[in-house]
Structure 1
């Protein structure tokens, strides 16, 4: 069976073919009909699988908490891309971005130097990218703080990392169950058990 038939497409369907060397970060804004939340990792397009309830609920919890606790000169941005390099434009689930980096309603990406924090909520299909590939790239780009969030018995566990400027690598500073309480990059206190409560 052909790939087109396997995915229920017409035989005449044209698959997107990458140029020699792969796609570039700027191509994401020019390619037609890309699915929502398409990322670029090492010049390859990465398509997101359907979101789970855990992912949605955790994203909402962290986004609301960061909105209420972040300093006024930082904005919480969800599910937008950061242009790390020519062939890397990942989409963190959440970012804390300098307010002056917001350029208007048509903006599609942010520069890594304007980010204070990147947050990835791990899905089954994204485990390797979220545990290894993306943190390594975020650190190399100089993003000071990174949180990786994983599910354990329906609740989020937050793995917190801080950039070591001497090595340009992340150093683990804590693993948080039930409650995320930090003093950097600013005072943060989040009840992680509230993830399944109705608002």
Structure 2
């Protein structure tokens, strides 16, 4: 993930559409998050602070609940194919996979992918990534809707598609079993530290 503010200058990117993951590796660190869907470039600014808080809170919840052989990680590189590359907000992988991966994870490595919906990523988080993650065989996909209190939408793979989402509202305890048991109220994801 980029660590600088997005630039207002025009950025010149190497390669020509449709882009490949190899092209993506030559892009500058200009404050934007670059992803690919079927060679089309998806560009997002760095996440807003509330988005970052939600990921930090969820990471802690998952770290506390995870068995030793599983690792929750924020913002990893996920190479789905030569022209498909995503940076999920959070994933769960095996510790063994983590130890052998240098730069990019493969879809088979991911047990859970999580996206926090921002105004600039609504379409891709609700539709594009949901379809892409299911087609890649990722067993579980969680979508956090900050504008809903927040709410947690849990999708589990059934064949080549995700089942309809199980929605958990702020103020209720969500007890989840995949990829391991974890229980929490989605409201805690945006609360300030006590």
TM-score, normalized by the shorter chain, greater than 0.5: yes
Listed as ranges, the gaps of 5+ residues in structure 1 are: 1-6
Listed as ranges, the gaps of 5+ residues in structure 2 are: 1-6
Match of 2:134 in 1: 139
**2:129 aligned counterpart, secondary structure:** helix
- The answer to whether residue 99 in structure 2 is matched with residue 107 in structure 1 is no
**1:22 aligned counterpart, secondary structure:** coil
Count of paired positions: 185
Segments of 4+ moved more than 4 angstroms? none
Match of 1:4 in 2: none
Match of 2:121 in 1: 126
Match of 1:22 in 2: 18
Distance 2:92 2:75 in 1: 12
CA deviation string 1:68-93 (max 9, x = no partner): 11121111111122111111101110
User: What CA RMSD, in Å, does the superposition of the two structures yield over aligned residues?
Assistant: 2.2
Higher Rg of the two aligned structures: 1
Match of 1:159 in 2: 153
The question of whether the paired residues in 2 share the 8 Å contact of 1:161 and 1:172 is answered with yes
Match of 1:97 in 2: 93
**1:89 aligned counterpart, secondary structure:** strand
Q: Scaled by the length of structure 2, what TM-score is found?
A: 0.85
CA deviation string 1:137-177 (max 9, x = no partner): 10011000000110236x32000000002xx0000251001
Q: 1:8 to 1:69 in 2, by over 3 A?
A: closer
The question of whether the paired residues in 2 share the 8 Å contact of 1:118 and 1:146 is answered with yes
The question of whether the paired residues in 2 share the 8 Å contact of 1:58 and 1:156 is answered with no
